[in-house]
């Protein structure tokens, strides 16, 4: 009998001995008068044992057996070792068909001396930015390096989360954080949801030029501007505003997403025997669906801000690397140490001149834009031969002309004429007259 039960029995005995009234006993025990009458009658009939609770020493009907508790502990130590307690509770229901509340899981594992790998430390208080009212108004994008595949080196997971709903919009693995990873993320967003109004990202050089904000005011007044990065150029063509975060806390929603995914994804990969990046990227599609069903919230305004992509726009011509090149002989150009030739189907013998825009896409390969039209290309084994230059007859140099033996100018004496004063000799005048007459006739 506990001390509380001893006190209760003592008070009930005092009512039996008429030391105190039923009302006074009810006030002392903080019970109703009806309960005091019930306890008094029970003690009179069954004795002091009536005060002791009848379930003492019994296990509840719904309690887990010792064998089941041992099984849960063994599953946590072996199959789900890396999972935190909350994730472990979900995995038990999904894969083992064991339905338990989180407090039960916590109590069983803690009793066995196990601790959750995800410990919560005291967080600093930051001003929490209000969510955007509509889905698609702002998309936070970032990448997180982490050993996502257990036992492997770090890889970078590129991702995007909607600010209004907390939905994962896209995820894509690459070996390192790179432009191609973000292009793949934007492609998933646009195809599956539409074009957002803005992206919210850090100041990585993939998004923002290192010279941004560093041009002197004098050069700005002269019209000088910072060139857009490839990502910035693509967003500009799609009409998406690129907003620069001033701190990591500014994009706190996607930073918290990384914490959640770093805890959950490696365990999911292990359970599903995923050990390559290609398999991981394929698995992410179904993972995004299940994650959003569990964690996404409804936006304040149900009207979506996403707009659909115009069917006339070639998305692969925008989400790619663009570079300017000059056409050389044979409608060819050089790009990254390789020569390519334009594939011209409608006018095979056409000769193009001037500048082209090279499109380097992971999905479409190397293409080129000339006068607003996109052309396929084919790689050449060597530099195309330069065509010989044929000059027209009108532009050719005239052959050297050799005068005949009886040409008048050959009759001019080679000796220099002697200077004289007075009237010239008649023979000289006749010779000069004949020379000038012949020259005018020949000209």
DSSP 301: B
Alpha-carbon distance values, 397 to 75, 96, 135, 389 (Å): 95, 94, 74, 15
Residue 281 CB neighbours (<10 A): 16
pTM of the model: 0.67
Report the share of the chain in percent with pLDDT over 70: 84
Which stretch of DSSP H or E encloses residue 220? Answer: helix 217-221
Beta strands, E only, 235-281:
241-244
Q: Which residues pair with 243 in a beta bridge?
A: 200
pLDDT at res. 117: 72
- Is residue 288 a contact partner of residue 122, using CB atoms and an 8 Å limit? no
Two tokens at 144?
């997180």
**Sequence-distant (≥ 6) Cβ neighbours of residue 303 within 8 angstroms:** 134
| CA atoms within 13 Å, Cβ hemisphere of 184 | 16
Q: Taking the domains of the chain in order of start, what are their residue ranges?
A: 3-51, 66-111, 139-295, 408-442
- Sheet containing 338-343: which strands, arranged edge to edge? 321-326, 355-361, 365-370, 373-380, 338-343, 332-335
pLDDT at res. 420: 52
Q: What is the DSSP string of 51-77?
A: GS-TTTTPPPTTPPPHHHHHHHHHHHH
pLDDT at res. 300: 93
- The architecture in CATH of the region 139-295 reads 2-Layer Sandwich (3.30)
Backbone angles phi, psi at 157, to 5 degrees: -100, 115
DSSP 307: B
pLDDT at res. 106: 83
Mapped onto helix, strand or coil, the DSSP state of residue 360 is: strand
Cα–Cα distance, 148 to 265 (Å, whole number)? 7
pLDDT at res. 327: 93
Cα–Cα distance, 360 to 374 (Å, whole number)? 12
Low-confidence residues in the chain, pLDDT < 70:
1, 54-63, 118-127, 219-221, 223, 386-401, 403, 409-425, 435-443
Residue 240 CB neighbours (<10 A): 19
Contacts for 362-371: CB closer than 8 Å, 24+ residues apart: 362/180, 362/183, 362/184, 362/320, 363/316, 364/316, 364/317, 364/320, 366/335, 366/340, 367/317, 368/325, 368/333, 368/340, 368/342, 369/317, 370/327, 370/342
């Amino acid at each position: 009998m506990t001390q509380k039960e001893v006190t209760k029995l003592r008070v009930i005995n005092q009512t039996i001995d008429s030391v105190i009234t039923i009302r006074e006993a009810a006030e002392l025990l903080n019970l109703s008068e009806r309960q005091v009458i019930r306890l008094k009658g029970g003690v009179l009939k069954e004795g002091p044992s009536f005060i002791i609770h009848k379930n003492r020493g019994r296990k509840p009907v719904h309690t887990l057996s010792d064998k089941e508790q041992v099984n849960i502990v063994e599953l946590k130590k072996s199959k789900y070792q890396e999972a935190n307690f909350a994730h472990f509770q979900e995995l038990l229901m999904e894969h083992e068909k064991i339905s338990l509340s989180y407090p039960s899981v916590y109590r069983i594992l803690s009793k066995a001396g196990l601790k959750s790998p995800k410990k919560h430390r005291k967080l600093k208080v930051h001003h929490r930015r209000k969510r955007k009212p509509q889905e698609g108004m702002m998309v936070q994008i970032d990448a997180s390096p982490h050993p996502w595949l257990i036992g492997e080196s770090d890889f970078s997971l590129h991702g995007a989360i909607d600010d209004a709903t907390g939905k994962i919009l896209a995820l894509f693995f690459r070996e390192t954080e790179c432009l191609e990873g973000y292009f793949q993320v934007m492609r998933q967003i646009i195809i599956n949801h539409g074009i957002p109004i803005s992206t919210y990202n850090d100041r990585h050089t993939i998004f923002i030029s290192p010279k941004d904000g560093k041009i002197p005011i004098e050069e700005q007044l002269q019209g000088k501007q910072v060139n857009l990065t490839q990502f910035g150029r693509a967003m500009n063509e799609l009409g998406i505003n690129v907003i620069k975060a001033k701190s990591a806390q500014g994009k706190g929603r996607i930073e918290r997403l990384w914490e959640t995914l770093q805890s959950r994804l490696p365990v999911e990969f292990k359970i599903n025997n995923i050990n390559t990046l290609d398999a991981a990227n394929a698995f992410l599609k179904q993972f995004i669906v299940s994650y959003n069903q569990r964690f996404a919230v409804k936006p304040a305004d149900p009207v979506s801000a996403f707009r659909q992509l115009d069917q006339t726009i070639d998305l692969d011509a925008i989400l790619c690397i663009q570079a300017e090149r000059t056409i050389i002989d044979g409608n060819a150009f050089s790009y990254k140490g390789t020569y390519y030739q334009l594939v011209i189907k409608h006018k095979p013998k056409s000769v193009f001149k001037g500048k082209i825009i090279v499109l380097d896409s992971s999905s479409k390969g190397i293409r080129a834009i000339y006068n607003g039209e996109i052309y396929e290309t084919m790689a050449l084994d060597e530099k195309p031969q330069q065509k010989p230059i044929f000059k027209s007859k009108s532009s050719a140099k005239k052959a050297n002309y050799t005068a005949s033996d009886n040409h008048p100018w050959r009759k001019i004496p080679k000796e220099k004429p002697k200077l004289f004063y007075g009237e010239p000799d008649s023979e000289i005048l006749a010779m000069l007259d004949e020379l000038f007459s012949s020259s005018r006739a020949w000209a």
